[in-house]
Amino acid sequence: MADLSSLLETRYGSASAAPPAAHIATNPTLETLLQHKSVRSFLPDPLAPGTLEVLTAAAQSAATSSNLQTWSVVAVTQPSLKSKVAALCADQAFIHAAPLFLVFCADLARLTATCAQHGTAGEGLEFLEMYTMATIDTSLAAQNACVAAESLGLGTCYVGAARNRPRELAALLDLPPRVVALFGLAVGRPDPAAPVPDVRPRLGQGEVLRRETWGKGEAADLAAYDDALAEFNERQGRGDAPVWTYRSAHRIATVESLHGRDAFRRVLEERGFGLK
């Protein structure tokens, strides 16, 4: 098992950027979390029987606001359907290759049904708060599933492109009103013949950790992060990749850079989500 200091150094790209490990001992949970990486090369082999159910149980073990459990997941394994799903998610090759593609959905349909069952108006469902709650619940559940998969030696990759063509994806998966796909998660055994991805450095903690109030954080140093990520890209054979600040600024520069997701609010309204 790797020591915590080396895990932190790898996560932040250098010893100088890593926070001190103090006297905290590493453990399998910390090791799995700190070594997370996206995998985009999968073996086509089906997962072991029971894997999907274990991942779902892990997802259901995440915190959920008021125990309302405002999420659901569609598990896609059938190759022809998965190909159609992939085509709606930027047609990325790793979605085709992964034996399991999980489409995580914000789900207010179940609460709509419970209101009808008990004769209540369900007025709360008309407000942005409930959609926000559903996105949080969905994200927490998905991350639990992701960590569980990685603890089993599986690789994963999130797919935000599930929001590129949300109308078509909802129709393909036969999603009911008040259910919308938020993102996908490809799951499978990493292909040992493919290059092993390194752990991608993250922003220094001074950029994301604020103590007591917002103004009590350390001074941000985005230039240092640009350098750390440039070194990472060089090791990955992507030395010509733009620095993080440039790439991030251009990722949100225009409506076109959202790849169709600018319509997502309208899709939510069409699907019955109240956003008052």
Nearest-angstrom CA–CA distance, 91 and 39: 16
The DSSP output letter for 114 is H
Question: Strand locations in 161-266, DSSP E?
Answer: 179-188
pLDDT of residue 157: 98
Per DSSP, what are the bridge partners of residue 180?
Answer: 106
76 phi and psi angles, rounded to 5 deg: -110, 120
Nearest-angstrom CA–CA distance, 101 and 69: 21
Identify which has the larger pLDDT, 214 or 154. Answer: 154
* Confidence category of residue 177, pLDDT binned at 50, 70, 90: very high
pLDDT of residue 62: 98
pLDDT of residue 216: 62
pLDDT in tens, 193-224: 998 889 999 999 988 888 888 886 555 678 88
Residue 41: which of 169, 189, 141 has the closest Cα?
189
pLDDT of residue 218: 56
pLDDT of residue 221: 77
pLDDT in tens, 125-151: 999 999 999 999 999 999 999 999 999
| Average pLDDT over the chain, rounded to an integer | 95
Nearest-angstrom CA–CA distance, 102 and 264: 20
Structural contact between residues 90 and 178, judged by C-beta atoms closer than 8 angstroms: no
SS3 246: helix
Residue 35: which of 146, 185, 140 has the closest Cα?
146
pLDDT of residue 148: 98
Angle 235-237-240 (CA atoms, 0-180°, nearest 5)? 105
Question: Strand locations in the chain, DSSP E?
Answer: 71-76, 100-107, 155-159, 179-188
pLDDT of residue 55: 98
Q: What is the mean pLDDT of residues 173-178?
A: 98
Residue 207: which of 9, 19, 15 has the closest Cα?
19
pLDDT of residue 91: 98
Residue 71 falls in which region: left (phi positive, over 0), alpha (psi -120 to 50) or beta: beta
pLDDT of residue 219: 57
Task: Give percent of the chain with pLDDT exceeding 90.
Answer: 85
Radius of gyration (C-alpha) of the chain in whole angstroms: 20
pLDDT of residue 273: 96
Residue 9 Cα distances to 30, 54, 204, angstroms = 14, 32, 11
pLDDT in tens, 6-22: 999 999 998 888 998 87
pTM summary value: 0.95
pLDDT of residue 217: 56
pLDDT in tens, 104-120: 999 999 999 999 999 99
Residue 86 Cα distances to 45, 51, 56, 164, angstroms = 18, 22, 21, 11
Residue 193 Cα distances to 42, 43, 196, 200, angstroms = 10, 9, 9, 20
- Token reading at 25: 């001992």
pLDDT in tens, 217-263: 555 678 889 999 999 999 888 889 999 999 999 999 999 999 999 99
217 phi and psi angles, rounded to 5 deg: -75, 165
pLDDT in tens, 81-95: 999 999 999 999 999
Q: What is the mean pLDDT of residues 45-56?
A: 98
